[in-house]
Structure 1
Amino acid sequence: MSSEQLSSNQDFISSDAIRHSFSLAMSKMYQTEVPLYTDLMELVAEVNEEVLAQQPEIAEQLKNTGEIDRLSMERHGAIRLGTAAELAMMRRLFAIMGMQPVGYYDLAPAGVPVHSTAFRAIDTVSLNNSPFRVFTSLLRLDLIGDEMLRQQAQAALDARNIFTDGVVKLIETYEQQGGLTKEQGEQFVEQALETFRWHEQSPIAKDIYEQLAGQHQLIADVVGFKGPHINHLTPRTLDIDAVQQGMHSRGIPPKAIIEGPPRRNCPILLRQTSFKALVEPVSFKGADGQYQSGQHTARFGEIEQRGVALTPKGRALYDQLLSEAREKLGGTANENNAQQYYQLLSESFAAFPDDYKTLHDEQLAYFHYQPNQADSAPLTGLDVSTSNLQQLIEQDVIRIEPIVYEDFLPVSAAGIFQSNLHSDIASSYEGQSNQQEFEQALGASVHDELALYAQRQDESLQACLASLQQVA
């Protein structure tokens, strides 16, 4: 059920409103748990304010696309689940907030034993109301080489319940009555938040945790805790390079490499960085019921700079140029070769057009189409139709604005994960990507993100032409 359908019933609160409330509650909780994240948010806010003041064309672009009001609330988080049952229930939980699974990501080839999707809103209005999204990964236990350890991990996951009875009841109520009242929505946010809360006590023994960590630190992070604590939240910046420098000057330890494409005049897709994951005290449950002290590394603060969404043609060119740069580097990008990597990246991406007009004309990126003027005089005698689109753009009758990329990049996500798990070793897991298996666990098909962008572009074009035809 769409957020519009829910909000049309006066008894129900809209899914957009629930999602917005949840994102605010999640941010408040995470800032309490990880105070350094508050420092990061303050830095990002200062950088964004400076960019908007110094580059009015960016402010104008954000106003035209309806994104200016959501800039400060731009967030995404990430969680890691252990079982198919957890993933299926998480899909039902996110559905209450109007968040649907978009995209399939297999991170195993990049050395991370998970496959993932992103839960988010899918229509323009809902995205502008609240862009909050959660990158959600499912552990692939089949990639644990030690069979005995794999069985112990499965037993630990089978023994836990990551959802409160209250949130399960509210999910069932939502599905039965088609929505939640305002009071039920508030209860839902409160109950759902418990799933994502940090628990410093581990239900498994320390030696099992260490064996799991020996296989991969992420496996220990998933299996070793009561629930899928949110492992990072992410504000959106308009200048990620300035934030990276700002972290240095403020004593916030940044990861060495900004993941994604190089700095450009016209940003594309997604650039990401983060402060390094915290080493936190935890305690492990012994056979005698007593707890043994230890430590765990998983949670961090991330920053993203989002650019225009690319078409299949644009993504193919992006992947080709990124691969070229990484192959020329001959290893994993890290603090020892960061400047060399950035140089190679810039050289490779010189082949990628860096102005919106060319990106549009060569069908490399997706755009909103908007009437550029309401005056009917310049439209006299013009063919206001799809077949004449190029002329309408060249004559400034139609304005193009970039459709922001709302999704993720597998190589970048793996780079963030590996960096914050203190692993700069290039590795990969054997085993085929299996979207069908993931969707079976999910209990639904994932949306094709490229099809969603194409749909938004086409809808904006039809609305734009209809508006101009009325004026003409």
Structure 2
Amino acid sequence: MIAQPFVSPDDIRAMFCSALSDMYKKEVPLYGDLIELVNDVNSEIKKVKPDLWEIGDRLRVERHGAIRLGTSEELSTISRMFKQMGMYAVGYYDLSTSGVPVHSTAFRPKTTSSLDKNPFRIFTSLLRTELIPDLNLRNKVIEILNERDIFHPNVKELILKSENQGGLNKIDSELLIEYSLETFKWHKSALVDEETYNEMKKTHPLLADVAGFKGPHINHLTPRTLDIDAVQRMMAERGIPPKKVIEGPPVRECPILLRQTSFQALTEPINFAGSSPGETSQGLHRARFGEIESRGAALTPAGHELYQNLMKQAGSFTPTDNNEIWQIRLGKIFQSFPDTWEEIRKQNLAYFKYSLSSFAQSQLSSSSSSFIGKGLEELIKDGIINYTPIVYEDFLPASAAGIFQSNLGEHVKTTTSGLNAKEEMESHLNSKIQDYFELYNEIQQLSLDQVKQQLIGCTI
């Protein structure tokens, strides 16, 4: 019998993304309405702006999801599972600085080819139990989390099988996707009784969401739009209650980083465990929602610093602000951030991919002597080299916390501890968390190296 070839992790990721989206549409029909709205807006934008700097085939399938885990063992296993899908921990986010008792990383593809194939990402948060101020509740939460297993046993078997043999065939890949969905599905029945649930919720609603159920469940999925301001306006028209303001930078000619909005979290019926076997009581839980994102250029450390300084000047929006007022305020403050790609590149505020122009390609077939001794700026000026912004594939801590908080109720504020939480998370992952600045710089440098190889004698 001939052994079946292994399926590419990129293909497994694409299939998983599609399956997860289909599941979430069934669980949260409003998410399906959101996808339709985003697709409609994107289609219209592409008609009037066909030369947008980055669209590509990936746009229609582009998603990010979010999941909240309770233990280091859960994080370790899910990182091994995501590795089979070509997704790795990139970026560290300490949301506890914004009053959310978790720290996070994003599992995503790292190479340009993998991102082009399918850019699916999972923003993965881990509960920091040391931030639960009540020691008795902390111990209770730890006990609850240690007793549950959020993974179907077949998932662990398939992960181990893949690790031992170097991959999975088509049948095993499909089984991995099928059983992996069990981790992300909604569980109506809580693990705890109503009193424990309310005690956790009073400390922080996210604590109840993480520790109160059999599994973490996907709490949102996010399509990418080419015009998030249009989606924000049209959500209410289609019966989708929007978040008050769009998180992130203001609307610009040259989009940067990440802008996000969402519809408000659903209030869903749940069943609490009773004091006697088989006994239950009913309640309500609010956690799952739908989010929309608009992605711009990846900024360099200098660009990030300028962005953060400008956001600090803006402060926080007030109860009387709406999105229009907030965007006008941000727009005025961001006038000091260049809004042409040429100036952004010259000031080294963003990362770019470089390539030969069609004119240069035609010249290569005859002679490359005209390129000898010329540097990058001169080659760009002469129309020999083109540049395109690199898409920001990651997240903004303040925006992530803002989305979380807007879908949570009142709670006790937590404070950060003095532990080196990033190193602790890396120990659970058994690997370093990739610095996304390094990844963007590698992509930029690779494109420059490729151009230099083609233009023999230039001084790039």
TM-score (norm 1): 0.92
Q: Cα 1:384–1:51, aligned 2, differ >3 Å: closer, same or farther?
A: farther
Which of 383, 393, 405 is the aligned partner of 1:396?
383
Q: What corresponds to 1:19 in structure 2?
A: 13
Q: Aligned partners of 1:219 and 1:463: how far apart in 2? A: 49
Q: What corresponds to 2:430 in structure 1?
A: 443
* 1:391-470 pair list within 5 angstroms: 391-422=378-409, 429-432=415-418, 434-469=421-456
Cα displacement (A) at 1:402: 0.8
Which of 105, 111, 136 is the aligned partner of 2:93?
105
| Two-structure CA RMSD over aligned residues (Å) | 1.9
Q: Quick one: percent identity of the two aligned structures?
A: 49
Cα displacement (A) at 1:430: 3.3
Q: Cα 1:315–1:55, aligned 2, differ >3 Å: closer, same or farther?
A: same
Cα displacement (A) at 1:380: 5.3
Deviation per residue, 1:272-298 (Å, 9 max, x gap): 000000000000101112111001000
User: Quick check: 344-353 or 116-125, which moved more?
Assistant: 344-353
Q: Aligned partners of 1:23 and 1:443: how far apart in 2? A: 25
Cα displacement (A) at 1:150: 0.7
Q: Say whether the 8 Å CA contact 2:254–2:341 is kept in structure 1.
A: yes
Q: What corresponds to 1:368 in structure 2?
A: 353
SS in 2 for 1:230: coil
Deviation per residue, 1:379-430 (Å, 9 max, x gap): 7543357x7001111111111111000000000000000001145x995623
Q: Are positions 1:220 and 2:205 aligned together?
A: no
Cα displacement (A) at 1:341: 3.0
Q: What corresponds to 1:136 in structure 2?
A: 124
Q: Cα 1:436–1:372, aligned 2, differ >3 Å: closer, same or farther?
A: same
Q: What corresponds to 2:311 in structure 1?
A: 322
Q: Aligned partners of 1:348 and 1:436: how far apart in 2? A: 36
Q: What corresponds to 1:199 in structure 2?
A: 187
Q: Say whether the 8 Å CA contact 1:369–1:399 is kept in structure 2.
A: yes
Cα displacement (A) at 1:438: 1.4
Q: Cα 1:114–1:121, aligned 2, differ >3 Å: closer, same or farther?
A: same
Q: Say whether the 8 Å CA contact 1:236–1:303 is kept in structure 2.
A: yes
Q: What corresponds to 2:27 in structure 1?
A: 33
Q: Which amino acid aligns with 2:215?
A: G
Q: What corresponds to 1:3 in structure 2?
A: none
Q: Say whether the 8 Å CA contact 1:257–1:333 is kept in structure 2.
A: no
Q: How many aligned positions are there?
A: 451
Q: Cα 1:87–1:368, aligned 2, differ >3 Å: closer, same or farther?
A: same
Q: Are positions 1:69 and 2:54 aligned together?
A: no
SS in 2 for 1:56: coil
Cα displacement (A) at 1:179: 0.4
Cα displacement (A) at 1:351: 0.6
Q: Say whether the 8 Å CA contact 1:256–1:335 is kept in structure 2.
A: no
Which of 321, 331, 339 is the aligned partner of 1:354?
339
Q: What corresponds to 1:81 in structure 2?
A: 69
User: Quick check: 15-24 or 333-342, which moved more?
Assistant: 333-342
SS in 1 for 2:168: coil
Q: Which amino acid aligns with 1:36?
A: L
SS in 2 for 1:287: coil
Which of 165, 169, 184 is the aligned partner of 1:181?
169
SS in 1 for 2:61: coil
Cα displacement (A) at 1:343: 2.7
Q: Cα 1:10–1:184, aligned 2, differ >3 Å: closer, same or farther?
A: closer
Q: What corresponds to 2:240 in structure 1?
A: 252
Q: Which amino acid aligns with 2:416?
A: E
Cα displacement (A) at 1:337: 5.3
Q: Say whether the 8 Å CA contact 2:222–2:291 is kept in structure 1.
A: yes
Deviation per residue, 1:22-42 (Å, 9 max, x gap): 000000000000000000000
SS in 2 for 1:86: helix
TM-score (norm 2): 0.94
Cα displacement (A) at 1:338: 4.3
SS in 1 for 2:284: strand
SS in 2 for 1:173: helix
Q: Cα 1:69–1:258, aligned 2, differ >3 Å: closer, same or farther?
A: same
Q: What corresponds to 2:84 in structure 1?
A: 96
Cα displacement (A) at 1:334: 4.7
Cα displacement (A) at 1:169: 0.2
SS in 2 for 1:294: strand
Q: Say whether the 8 Å CA contact 1:110–1:426 is kept in structure 2.
A: no
Q: Say whether the 8 Å CA contact 2:202–2:412 is kept in structure 1.
A: no
Q: Say whether the 8 Å CA contact 2:243–2:264 is kept in structure 1.
A: yes
Which of 295, 298, 307 is the aligned partner of 1:306?
295
Cα displacement (A) at 1:345: 1.2
Q: Say whether the 8 Å CA contact 2:297–2:391 is kept in structure 1.
A: yes
Deviation per residue, 1:126-166 (Å, 9 max, x gap): 00101000000000111111111111111110110000110
Q: Say whether the 8 Å CA contact 1:439–1:446 is kept in structure 2.
A: yes
Q: Aligned partners of 1:459 and 1:334: how far apart in 2? A: 47
Stretches of structure 1 that go unaligned for 5 or more consecutive residues are 1-8
Q: What corresponds to 2:264 in structure 1?
A: 276
Q: Say whether the 8 Å CA contact 1:274–1:303 is kept in structure 2.
A: yes
Deviation per residue, 1:343-389 (Å, 9 max, x gap): 3211211110011111111100000101112121797543357x700
